[in-house]
Amino acid sequence: MTAKAWKAVLSAAEAAKSRSIAGLFEDDTRAERYSLVASDMLFDYSKTALDDTARETLIQLAHAAGVEDARRSMFTGEKINASENRAALHTALRNLNGPPVFVDGVDVMPDLRETFERMKAFAKMVRDGRIAGQGGAITDVINIGIGGSDLGPAMAVRALTPYHDGPRCHFVSNVDGADLADTLSNLAPETTLVIVSSKTFTTIETMTNASSVQKWMARSVTDPSAQFAAVSTAKERTAAFGIPTERVFGFADWVGGRYSIWGPIGLSLMIAIGAERFGEFLEGGARMDAHFATTALDRNMPAMLALIGIWHHQGMGYPTRAVLPYEHRLSRLPAYLQQLEMESNGKSVGVDGEALSHGGGPIVWGEPGTNGQHAFFQLLHQGNQIVPCEFLIASRGHEPELTRHHELLQANCLAQSEALMCGRDLEETLSLFPGHEMTDDDIEKQARQRVFPGNRPSVTLAYPKLTPRILGQIIALYEHRVFVEGVILGLNSFDQWGVELGKEIAKSLFPVFEEREPTRAQNGSTRLLASFLTKQSEDI
């Protein structure tokens, strides 16, 4: 059934390859007809080559792939993560007042509520000084974690800086000692709280960093364990590490690492902004869930965002997608989305064990505007590769005294999407060289280099202001987008087998470095590099 639907999408895309996006605006209702509003956010996808036929083929593809059924299965706790035999219930974490949700016949909501209350009490006591370090009130919190146990809170704490009224937060993820050393260099162990965040509590980077911080603290704090907390599904391991049970915040294995910011992995965020703001963040996520769960696909923001992604990657053949937040505080959003999208959908084999007939998700990358404009936007405008762009922009900033900055930001954001679409042809470019003292040949040569081909697609997400609620909506929007894309492509968005092999080889290579025996490396190139690296470290 999907084969026919795919065929229709691909032939619509073929027809669109020669279509002028700007030309589609001859229909002066286009912007309204190719945009939608959900929960205060406007999603404009009119600057794409989609026409009514193409859009309809995409929606039919989503129907044929069973998106609506899959959506229901996710929300009701079915084990949709088949390769790990788990549900994917991150939506339950942000809907604490919602109806019962059953996994293996057990309602998971009471446990979630209890953990949330414990998090709230803990965060409150850290913020008001009742939980203190040996040297007094906690001034700094270090979250030690990596991947989903780092990117979510690190991104959100930065995004919500205007609401940050708790202790300073730091995030150490890299096993590179530089990350830890640079963070610790400005901190006082006596007033620092360490949260070790790891779903499995086995991740080598996190456990190595956690042990080193423990030693750092033990040099000046009598009982370091009193200044440690843990977030994990593995309670025996947190106990073995010496973290008291009352400081351990658990979550179930049906919360995927990259979907985990809504629960205890968000503890550092809750300490930073307070439980009330954190609650607003959850409400934002839940609002997007309600929209996603109940809205017809053609008016459904996550579904349309996913379908446009499929249109660009599978249909038009564009290999990458740029995420461009015109919101400086979303500077970690591209990195967050790289994990969310590429760890979820960067796959080539489907749930049926067969090679995916239409491939997996695209490469996702990006950087905040306007900085990106002065770096890689050259390629976006004039390079050979077409990169569909996703712009994010707020109506208002948080700095009333700097509204001029925000107006410039908005003008730049909209200018870029217009320039990408409209471009500037040779004729117009030539007209910019009036009466120049150059030969016609030279003028043309110069002008050709200044031509903008245009017809480059983009979508824009506009929202009122980057509040906790809006951030929750944005993250949930992207989560559901990834889900819909995964369902349509026929893959499991909730496992990540592709990260395992490198971890295994690193484990076997570690003794090569620890014992300085490069000849034990299996492969010629690895041996050469290991010899060079071990020798250099001896020489210096």
- Minimal distance, residue 201 CB to ligand F6P, in Å: 7
3 state DSSP class of 134: coil
Sign of the torsion angle spanned by Cα atoms 258, 295, 301, 82: positive
Name which of residues 242 to 301 contact ligand F6P (CB under 6 A).
257-258
Q: Clarify whether 343 is annotated catalytic.
A: yes
- Minimal distance, residue 320 CB to ligand F6P, in Å: 22
Q: What is the dihedral of CA 18, 20, 26, 27, to 10 degrees?
A: 70
Sole binder of ligand F6P in the list 91, 203, 370, 458 (CB under 6 A):
203
Name which of residues 61 to 120 contact ligand F6P (CB under 6 A).
none
Residue 373 contacts residue 416 (beta carbons within 8 Å): yes
Name which of residues 488 to 507 contact ligand F6P (CB under 6 A).
496, 499
Sole binder of ligand F6P in the list 73, 139, 200, 526 (CB under 6 A):
200
**Backbone φ, ψ for residue 249 (5° rounding):** -115, 115
Catalytic position from the list 215, 236, 354, 374: 374
**Can you give the length of the chain in residues?**
540
Residue of 246, 254, 263 whose CA lies nearest to 153 = 263
Compare residues 145 and 167 and give the one whose CB is closer to ligand F6P: 145
Q: Which amino acid is at 233?
A: T
CA end-to-end distance (rounded Å), the chain: 64
Q: Clarify whether 480 is annotated catalytic.
A: no
Under the binding rule (CB under 6 A), the answer on residue 199 touching ligand F6P is: yes
Residue of 132, 143, 49 whose CA lies nearest to 420 = 49
Compare residues 346 and 453 and give the one whose CB is closer to ligand F6P: 346
3 state DSSP class of 87: coil
- Minimal distance, residue 263 CB to ligand F6P, in Å: 12
Catalytic position from the list 343, 367, 390, 479: 343
Between CA 109 and CA 451 the distance in angstroms is 58
Between CA 129 and CA 139 the distance in angstroms is 9
Residue 253 contacts residue 259 (beta carbons within 8 Å): no
Q: Interface mask (CB under 6 A) for ligand F6P, residues 121-160, using x and -?
A: ------------------------xxxxx-----------
- Minimal distance, residue 537 CB to ligand F6P, in Å: 27
Catalytic position from the list 405, 445, 503, 507: 503
- Minimal distance, residue 154 CB to ligand F6P, in Å: 12
Under the binding rule (CB under 6 A), the answer on residue 238 touching ligand F6P is: no
Residue of 128, 98, 124, 125 whose CA lies nearest to 113 = 98
Q: Clarify whether 535 is annotated catalytic.
A: no
Compare residues 199 and 321 and give the one whose CB is closer to ligand F6P: 199
Compare residues 104 and 500 and give the one whose CB is closer to ligand F6P: 500
Stretch that binds ligand F6P, among 38-46, 195-203, 359-367, 402-410 (CB under 6 A): 195-203
Q: Which amino acid is at 195?
A: I
What is the edge-to-edge ordering of all strands in the sheet holding 228-232? 168-172, 140-144, 192-197, 228-232, 248-250
Under the binding rule (CB under 6 A), the answer on residue 206 touching ligand F6P is: yes
Under the binding rule (CB under 6 A), the answer on residue 373 touching ligand F6P is: no
Q: Count Cβ neighbours within 10 Å for each residue of 69-96 and write b for 16 or more, e otherwise.
A: ebbebbbebbebbeebebbbbbbbbbbb
Stretch that binds ligand F6P, among 78-86, 193-201, 275-283, 528-536 (CB under 6 A): 193-201
Give the count of beta carbons closer than 10 Å to the beta carbon of residue 364: 23
Residue of 369, 373, 372, 347 whose CA lies nearest to 359 = 347
- Minimal distance, residue 444 CB to ligand F6P, in Å: 53
Under the binding rule (CB under 6 A), the answer on residue 191 touching ligand F6P is: no
Compare residues 343 and 479 and give the one whose CB is closer to ligand F6P: 343
Sole binder of ligand F6P in the list 81, 191, 198, 455 (CB under 6 A):
198
Q: Which residues are at the interface with ligand F6P (CB under 6 A)?
A: 145-149, 198-200, 203, 206, 257-258, 343, 496, 499
Annotated catalytic sites, by residue?
A: 343, 374, 503
